[in-house]
Amino acid sequence: MFRRIKKQIVQALSSSNKSIYELMGSQDASISEFFYVLKEMKDEGMISIEKGIVSLLHDHTNKYVGRQYEGKCRVCDGTGYSIHGYESILEEFKDIIKNRPNCIEEYDQGAMSVEDVVRRVAFIHERGDLLDANILVMGDDDLFSIAASLTELPKEVFVLDVDDRIISFLKNVANERGLPIKAMKYDVRDPIPYELKNKFDVFITDPVETLPGIGLFLSRAVSTLKGVGSSGYFGLTTHEATRKKWYEIQKILHDMGFVITDIRRRFSIYPQEGKLFFDFSKIIEDIVPLDSEWYSSSFLRIEAIKEPKPIYDGRVDIGNELYEDEESSIPDIRL
């Protein structure tokens, strides 16, 4: 089942030893699957692990590794989108968010790099979903609403977020800079306010990745769309979502009336200072300090091919299962 993941790990190690973090960023199994495979490879004598550094044992090199190729574009870091032409927006965006609210664990927050926020803006613009659009942002840890508004292309960017600090920050920026941003405090467990239903052309969100959570986030966002032809964007990792979970998410999207039009792999990177990272001390002793921007997400675009039908409508009472499941937890193993 994990043969491909083993090959990805061996390929990464064939050029040099790697830290645990570097290896996690070079493969696409979930965190729990990754450590399971790593333990299996160690037990089989394929690799050694010393103080968080993984080495490929030479006896297994030729069996798995052929000629090495680097196919990823170095200009766009493999995303397919550069930020050429958006340099002034990037610099203004950086200046505006210098005093942004810090991410907190209570809301499972994490901010991607500012360059990748602008890269998202470029992608959405290229797909025809930014110009003259009414945009709904469901949760704005990344302050995407500011970057999008700086282009002067959207009609309105409306943010729903549970964090009072983010709401206050966005309102202040909108007033000071004259940006078309509106913000309202909102808990995803509550129904969408009536006045926001069927109002927007586009939504963007980075949902929690439990199945109840992502179903809830997408349902709320979908209920704000105008109808057929409307689109949505959301981030999804493989770190906290296995292929089986991706399959279930596809079924949710199908049931709601959407088709996936684009998947941009490893499109958004979460730097060390912007993401509340896992504590791997339960798995490996003396792990090296965080030395690689390993946590990334794919960016998906979906489009309504029939009248959107959210799977959740009324109030949903949900506790810790909104944020946590076995795929987002650290596996109970020791390397």
CATH number at residue 285: 3.40.50.150
Name the pTM for this structure: 0.92
Quote the CA–CA distance of 55 and 16 in Å, as a whole number: 8
Q: What is the pLDDT of residue 320?
A: 79
- Within-domain flag for 76: no
- Within-domain flag for 234: yes
46 plus 115 within the same structural domain: no
Question: What does DSSP say about strands 181-185 and 134-138: parallel, antiparallel, or unpaired?
Answer: unpaired
91 plus 51 within the same structural domain: no
206 plus 275 within the same structural domain: yes
- Within-domain flag for 324: no
Tokens 């964007």: give the residue.
233
Residue 139's nearest CA partner among 96, 108, 180, 172 is 108
- Report the 3 state secondary structure along the chain: CCHHHHHHHHHHHCCCCEEHHHHHHCCCCCHHHHHHHHHHHHHCCCEEEECCEEEECHHHHHHHCCCCCCCCCCCCCCCCCCCCCCHHHHHHHHHHHHHCCCCCHHHCCECCCHHHHHHHHHHHHHCCCCCCCEEEEECCCCCHHHHHHHCCCCCEEEEEECCHHHHHHHHHHHHHHCCCEEEEECCCCCCCCHHHCCCECEEEECCCCCHHHHHHHHHHHHCCECCCCCEEEEEECCCCCCHHHHHHHHHHHHHHCEEEEEEEEEEEECCHHHECCCCHHHCCCCCCCCCCCCCEEEEEEEEECCCCCCCCCCCCCCCHHHCCCCCCCCCCCCC
CATH number at residue 47: 1.10.10.10
126 plus 207 within the same structural domain: yes
The residues that bridge with 56 in the sheet, in sequence order, are 47
54 plus 157 within the same structural domain: no
Q: Which residues of 206-242 are buried (b: 16+ CB within 10 A; e: fewer)?
A: bbbbbbbbbbbbbbbbbbbbeeeebbbbbbbbbbbbb
206 plus 164 within the same structural domain: yes
pLDDT tens digits in sequence order for the chain, 335 residues long: 688 999 999 989 988 899 998 998 889 999 999 999 999 999 999 999 998 899 998 655 555 555 555 667 877 878 888 888 999 999 999 999 999 987 766 666 678 899 999 999 999 999 999 999 999 999 999 999 999 999 999 999 999 999 999 999 999 999 999 999 999 999 999 999 999 999 999 999 999 899 999 999 999 999 999 999 999 999 999 999 999 999 999 999 999 999 999 999 999 988 766 555 677 777 776 677 776 788 899 999 999 999 999 999 999 988 777 778 887 777 777 77
45 plus 159 within the same structural domain: no
51 plus 157 within the same structural domain: no
Quote the CA–CA distance of 267 and 29 in Å, as a whole number: 16
Residue 52's nearest CA partner among 319, 288, 321, 311 is 288
19 plus 142 within the same structural domain: no
Provide the domain limits for residue 187: 87-315
- Within-domain flag for 25: yes
Q: Which residues of 87-115 are buried (b: 16+ CB within 10 A; e: fewer)?
A: eebbeebeebbeebbebeeebbbbbbbbb
Instruction: Give me the number of domains the chain comprises.
Output: 2
How deeply is 279 buried, as exposed, middle or buried, from its count of CB atoms within 10 A (0-12, 13-18, 19+)? exposed
- Within-domain flag for 37: yes
